[in-house]
Structure 1
Amino acid sequence: MELNDVKIVLKKPIFPVSAPLQKYLRAYQRDAKLPVTYNDLLQFNESFPIMDKNGKDSLWEGPIYPNDRIEDIHNGLKVIYANLKASGNLRIVQHKYIDKIEYCTFGNTHPFRIRIVNRLNDVYDYFYVKRADASRIYGLELEEILSPNQVNYLVDRETLIEEHIAGIPGDVFSKSYLHKPEYNPTRIAKEFVKFNERCLVMLLGDMRSYNFVMQITPDFDDIQFRIRAIDFDQQFYEGNIKVYQPQFFKENFPYVKLGMEQLTDKTYLQYQQEEKSSILHCVRSERHRLADLRDVSNTEVLTSQENIIQLKEGMAAHFDDTNYLACKTMTDVIELNIKNIIRQVKL
């Protein structure tokens, strides 16, 4: 593993949801008619800063809405939660109330974070209301199709609803949990190798430690780890190949260092191969959906021509494969990644 800090200089633009993408979302039950939109939530009079437990600015704000709008907004958000979690069955929100609406001014999509609470037992959950961004939606779909993780989201024109992905933020885990004696460091290093491989195949960029979470599952004889992406803003936009390799971000150095300490070249290659086999299994299971997604994304402009040229040249050099130079879109690059995996796994 290597470390060579990568910087993303320019902010990625928001790409609107096209008619072909909307049709795809409808075909795979991702579209919905929502009673509250992202723009509705923007109609607040003022806001107050939200501090974290240490008294520092969390970069989230508490919006204050007009009194005559609060009830409609809260009721609409409960309907959205029912759509997201139970196909619109309102019985699941019968005893729930909206506890908090928080607005983030950091990041591309400026999300709203909604906390919903069950008044019978105080158990709470979160979900997010965001400005719909086509490249982010493609990232969510590729995560659903090619990774071992399921993602739950809905789209209504300019509004994107996302389920909360539970886990320990990667930066928090590296500082406070990484070296706990009961955790097997090799298992953590193995998971980072697999995550790194998956991001490059899917062209999921900017996976710095605060953009993924670590999920911990006790097993009968050990503890299992899984890294899950929680931010898909930088899906196949940048031209620098290193943006799609988490190992090159300085924020991930603790994971890189752990891998260098715990893994040999042989085991590193073994875990890469395991992830490729897992991706191949997903491709075989979801080949029709993947083909539909490819056909739609190949009709869209989701990055600059300069970025496509830079990336395909970087991929050609990285894999020593001149076939990448014939790619015309970012989708072509992903498709060639998958074809190469199919050839390699069959060998």
Structure 2
Amino acid sequence: MLRDVLSSALDAVQGRPNPLGLAARRRVVVLVVDGLGDESLTARAGHARTLAGSTRRRIRTASPTTTAAALTTLTTGTDAGTHGIVSYAALEPVSDRVINQLRGFDADLPDGWQRSSTVFERAVDEGVAALAVGPRHYAASGFTREVLRGARYVGARSIEERLEAAVEGLRAAGRGIAYCYVPELDVAAHRDGWNSPGWTDLLERVDGAVRDTAQGLRSGESLLSTADHGMVDVPSSAHLLLDDLGLLTGVRRLAGEPRLLHVHLVPDADPEAEATRWAEAVGSAADVLTRDAAIRAGWFGVTEPAVRARIGDLLVAARGRAACYATADAPGRGMVGQHGAWTTAERFVPLVRFDG
């Protein structure tokens, strides 16, 4: 599982048994290619022969399958119901506001919102170097501060420069782990879809950078390449407009994302009755569960009491290629590639290992 990858890298550097079965290493780089699902990699294997090669295996990512939650699961080794990052946009119960969790740490979210210690903090406590390498403009963000807590952040412009910085930074430190982040593929998929030529061109570039890095690894060094989630291309014909379906009555706040909607109801609403009404309205396009049913089903892993109020009274998880929007003019309806729900395209990501 994705939650085991970075913690297993630390265990390998410390010579400990680990869930991935990694042998003892001096340096491990974990590359996260945002949005690279295992199914889409299989479909474009001819354009990514290194990533689609013989050392690749399929693993299950975090739930929900959204960047904020999955990256936090990777860097803490805990589930969303424990670390508290349960969606892209979440209800902050005290202020009763829906806040973007990729941007809200800078001003809008209270201290301690991300509730788990990170693998980087544990590494530093054990005397192991911890690096995080990504685009320069992410260096000072609140999300970086909270989710990569404990790591020394290194900004680098290109994909190739980021991998080089991760490897060279660990070599300078002697022993350590590094997280290296590539958002470009995810951005292209949201804009044009993962079936677009531009997405395939970027995949080829990522594959070439991984190939070159893998060929330059020294003895005792490993590169693990994985992803936070996969993608589904959603046509506008598959959009569910809640206003047209008469589903906005009784709704206090909408959070989550189009493929996993968190519905916060007005105080006197009956969640069970509303779940039935919503299920009848959306039909086979989505699964509708109450908060309690979703938690029992393990949608957020082990869920702490302090996290429950962040989760919607109802969860609407898209099937197939559907996505939910409040109204016809809702922001984001031009987005093609999407994720957040439980289809195999979204839930399964590659894990590829290269050893020096």
Give the TM interval when normalised to the shorter protein: under 0.3
Identify the structure with the greater helix proportion: 1
Identify the structure with the greater strand proportion: 2
TM-score for the superposition, normalised by structure 1: 0.23
TM-score for the superposition, normalised by structure 2: 0.23
Higher RCO, 1 vs 2 (CA within 8 Å, ≥6 residues apart): 2
